[in-house]
Amino acid sequence: MSIIIRVYNLVKDFKTVRALKGISFEVNKGEIFALLGPNGAGKTTTVKILSCVYKPTVGNVTVLDMEVPKDCKRIREKIGVMPQDYQGFMDMTVEENIEYFAKLYREHLNIDEILEEFGLREVRNKRLRYLSGGMRRRVGLASTFVGNNELIFLDEPTLGLDPKARKEFWELIKKLKAEKGVTIFFTTHYLEEAQRYSSRVGVLINGQMVRLSSPEQLIEEFKKENLEEAYLELIGKYEGGEGYS
């Protein structure tokens, strides 16, 4: 199994705050990897380093066999990113939003096909401001996938969505992964999402990676019924100290 992300001894400092304290992990090609942790743990910081928004302070990071930050220009052309605060361009139509992001890539998928695949054809001419939160997230996901990339970063992708919209979002992710073999790296506070959809989870607490395992292994380790219960017990062991997100 080939490795698509390698992180070794990653440290990130913000002035007087050490957000990441020497974390190391790998992500395999084709898997869905969930990064978990409480607010301030460093999840978003990690995603921003891997997606070339932030530079590491110390450590070795490779994405698609390219180095961060040395090869970030090439990395950006080969990854898709949906940030936690995705809003899109509210006064642009659905189609215009997707076209905007498509132009960021040298090569991209056909816009009509993307609209069809993401169930957006009927709203292609609607301005984003008139869509529901779930539909806006769907537009964000379509904009992320339009580059036909093999690695996708999703930071809290279903934050604020109702249970039905979250389920629909993940069903779409599962379908796209099955069809395209894409690797998904996501963060979430919804533990049932991580248990149901990820093959492995990493748990960040106070800037440190305290666990790397499958959801099933973590549940078994703490002899719990589900991932949420195991996660909460793990968090309890590391209470205290301050983090940064």
- Could you tell me if residue 180 is inside a domain? no
- Could you tell me if residue 57 is inside a domain? yes
**pLDDT above 60 for 245:** no
**pLDDT above 80 for 235:** yes
Instruction: Read off the CATH number of the domain in which 221 is found.
Output: 3.40.50.300
Please, what's the b/e burial string for 96-130 (b: 16 or more CB within 10 A of its CB; e: otherwise)? ebbbebbeebeebbeeeebbebbebeebbeebbee
What's the pLDDT score for residue 240?
Answer: 54
Distance of CA 71 to the CA centre of its chain: 20
**pLDDT above 50 for 142:** yes
Phi, psi of 123 (to 5 degrees): -115, 15
Domain that holds residue 59: 1-78+198-245
Number of neighbours of residue 4 by Cβ within 10 angstroms: 21
Quote the number of domains for the chain: 1
**pLDDT above 80 for 229:** yes
- Could you tell me if residue 230 is inside a domain? yes
**Mean pLDDT (the chain, rounded):** 92
What's the pLDDT score for residue 243?
Answer: 44
In angstroms, the CA 186 to CA 35 distance is: 6
- Work out the average pLDDT over 158-181: 86
What's the predicted TM-score (pTM) here?
Answer: 0.92
- Could you tell me if residue 7 is inside a domain? yes
Percent of the chain with pLDDT over 70: 97
- Could you tell me if residue 219 is inside a domain? yes
**How, if at all, do strands 208-213 and 200-205 pair?**
antiparallel
> pLDDT class for 86, splitting at 50, 70, 90?
confident
Q: In what order do the strands lie in the sheet with 200-205?
A: 79-82, 151-155, 183-187, 32-36, 200-205, 208-213
- Could you tell me if residue 129 is inside a domain? no
**pLDDT above 80 for 39:** yes
- Could you tell me if residue 120 is inside a domain? no
- Could you tell me if residue 237 is inside a domain? yes
**pLDDT above 90 for 215:** yes
The predicted-structure confidence for 20-35, as pLDDT tens digits, reads as follows 999 999 999 999 999 9
